[in-house]
Amino acid sequence: MRERRRNYELMIIISPLHANEEGVAAAIERVSQTITGAGGEVTSVNHASPWGRRKMAYPIREYASGEASRRSFTEGYYVLLTFNLSAGKVLDLERTLKLSDAVMRYLITVVEQKAVSADAVAEPAEVVADTAE
């Protein structure tokens, strides 16, 4: 039986240590390869305005490469990806994101496709003012 493919959005925050052009491109490529390797398809990648390098609401403590203790980061590079993938393969993607040094945080959400029926697009009802005299 074939698994149902769903549409997802993935927001990742890339560490400032990897936020140069090559580091961002490598992180996006690694995530895209994981998705396509699992049989999915990346439909869009957005790291232009309003995303990109942004100050975070609170500092995030993360391990930096080669350091024994955590560092506190106050900004990161935000990237939004949309893709479709089988529901069972999302765990493989999460595992890759957790093990990636470049990705500080991530959030995967399901994009619901709402079907518009003919009843929902009906003409708005006319409002009749009730005047009591």
32: three-class secondary structure by DSSP: helix
Bridge partners (DSSP) of residue 7 are 84
- The owner of tokens 């961002």 is 24
User: What ranges do the domains of the chain cover?
Assistant: 5-110
What's the CATH code, domain 5-110? 3.30.70.60
**What's the pTM?**
0.76
How many C-beta neighbours within 10 Å does residue 61 have?
10
Per-residue confidence in pLDDT tens, the chain, 133 aa: 567 889 999 999 999 888 888 999 999 999 999 999 999 999 999 988 788 889 999 998 887 766 767 788 899 999 999 999 998 899 999 999 999 888 999 999 999 876 555 555 545 555 555 555 5
